[in-house]
Amino acid sequence: MLAEQLVASFFAAAGFAIIFNVPRQVLFQCGTVGAVGWFLYRLLVLNTVDEVVATLAAAAVVAVISQIFAKWFRTPIIIFNVSGIIPLVPGGLAYDAMRHFVENNYEVAIPNAARVVMLSGAIALGLVFSEIINQMIRNGKWKRYHNKYDRKGLERS
């Protein structure tokens, strides 16, 4: 069952990458980011971790992999972030919440809507958390331990 979900999440992420006009050279990587994020999410949920925490962890991992791929393939990070996050979006739960609101079944709708808000917030927080860590690493004091020349051979000031 997990294998089918991995394949489906790969094609979902790659499919959304196609919709967003991602260059063909990175379609496979976009699908891989989505599949890895979904795999981590499912692995954590199967090991009795709360869905919100699992979504937060998966979103942070998606963002880290997206940063790495963006550097490797010299493309904007948003290409990998958006396609990698797509499998984690709680679309079905949001639909159910809205359907119950329309049917005036508020006892079911409000908890579902609250869950959607928490899951969406976890996705956003995971992306932001990863970016903060990336900024701390890039602006950290560890750079002073590198030599005085940059990648192009020019002297740093």
pLDDT at position 43, please? 95
> What share of the chain in percent tops pLDDT 90?
80
pLDDT at position 18, please? 95
Give the mean model confidence (pLDDT) for residues 88-102: 96
pLDDT at position 1, please? 85
Q: Which residue has the tokens 């119950």?
A: 100
Kindly report the pTM of this predicted structure.
0.83
* Token pair for 71: 């550097």
Residue type, 18: I
Q: What three-state secondary structure class fits 155?
A: strand
Helices assigned H by DSSP within the chain: 2-19, 27-46, 51-73, 77-85, 91-102, 106-138
Mean pLDDT of the chain, nearest integer? 90
Which residues, other chains included, contact 150 with Cβ-Cβ below 8 Å and sequence gap of 6+? 156
* Token pair for 22: 């991602």
**Confidence check: pLDDT of 118 > 80:** yes
Determine phi and psi for 104, rounding to 5 degrees: 60, 30
Condensed to tens digits (0 to 9), the pLDDT of residues 124-142 reads 999 999 888 888 877 775 5
